[in-house]
Amino acid sequence: SQQGEEDPQALSIQEGENATMNCSYKTSINNLQWYRQNSGRGLVHLILIRSNEREKHSGRLRVTLDTSKKSSSLLITASRAADTASYFCATGNYGQNFVFGPGTRLSVLP
């Protein structure tokens, strides 16, 4: 299975701190994506990193990818209460289904 698995399952931090979430997967991939889900709503795409990339930035987000270890990390810097959500990684190959991990529930306390 390509399934990504995030850890930790839950993370609670204070506003202003950084939050790091990790994702591991099992097979080779073309790209890995991170999504965010606010409670009870659909998922929103955050960032995509291709298999030939090692690091990518978008605003306060930083994603790394280590294909040798089959792992990725998502760093959210200077967190805000509005960052409270569940975060999922998704792995896939061209033309194949995308498999999501169980997610990390992030709580940012004001």
- List residues binding another protein (CB under 8 A): 30-31, 33, 35, 40-45, 48, 88, 90, 92, 94-103
- Give the C-alpha separation, 75 to 62, whole Å: 5
* Closer residue to another protein in complex, CB, 44/78: 44
* Closer residue to another protein in complex, CB, 23/76: 23
* Closest separation in Å from C-beta 72 to another protein: 16
* Closest separation in Å from C-beta 75 to another protein: 20
* Closest separation in Å from C-beta 11 to another protein: 15
Residue closest to 30 by CA, chosen among 65, 75, 73, 55 = 65
* Closer residue to another protein in complex, CB, 83/88: 88
- Give the C-alpha separation, 59 to 38, whole Å: 19
Q: How many H helices and E strands in the chain? A: 0, 11
User: Under a CB-based contact definition with an 8 Å cutoff, are residues 30 and 94 in contact?
Assistant: yes
